[in-house]
Amino acid sequence: MPEISTPELSSALRRRFEIVGEGVIDTLSPEIVGVVILDDLATAEPFRRAIGGTSQSNVAGQYSQIQLRNPVGSGTVLLVEQIVMAQTAVAITVYLSVLEQSNFGTVVTPAWADTRLLGRPTGQLGRQASAALLSNLVVGSPFMVRRVPGDNAYLTGVGITLMPGWAAMLETSAVNEPLIGSFIWSERALKQEDT
């Protein structure tokens, strides 16, 4: 049987799935070919999906805030894919904003969605109660407002890119209200063309 070598596809597959080794993937005949439909394999970089969530209890006279941040100097790009948020007030607005990060409250450790991966994600979750409404300080960044009915959670499809030093933040619009937030995001190494 003839063997057909596909070095370009082999190279892209090895990068995409972080396969160690050399050589090409051989096929038995032209009509029997493995197909992977994910994205453009010629330009794909490995993304690793991460998950994490936390909650901030209500504090008298304080706004509840939850933040997913990409630490300064991380060398990683975060792509926020989904956010689940909930709170118990009947007609409160939850703000979602993107801002330059600051040292932010209690840090909660996220995990990889694929439990076979070692180590921890670069993205960090933080929570705090604050007397200041931080979303008012956001200038020139994406900003969304979601009305969240009491005891319900909303899944928001987002596409926010967080470069090192930036964060996505959920925040209640009223004081003394609890907030629950979960994030699903992907991470990849920062490339030269990203800067």
Tell me, what's the pLDDT at 44? 47
Tell me, what's the pLDDT at 103? 61
Using pLDDT thresholds of 50, 70 and 90, give the confidence band for residue 87: confident
Q: pLDDT over 90 for what percent of the chain?
A: 15
Which among 58, 80, 65, 74 is positioned nearest to 157, based on CA atoms? 80
pTM score > 0.75 for this model? no
**Among 10-14, 25-29, 122-126, which range has the highest average pLDDT?**
122-126
So what's the architecture of 48-194 in CATH? Sandwich (2.60)
Tell me, what's the pLDDT at 22? 67
Name the residue ranges covered by the structural domains of the chain: 1-44, 48-194
Tell me, what's the pLDDT at 104? 72
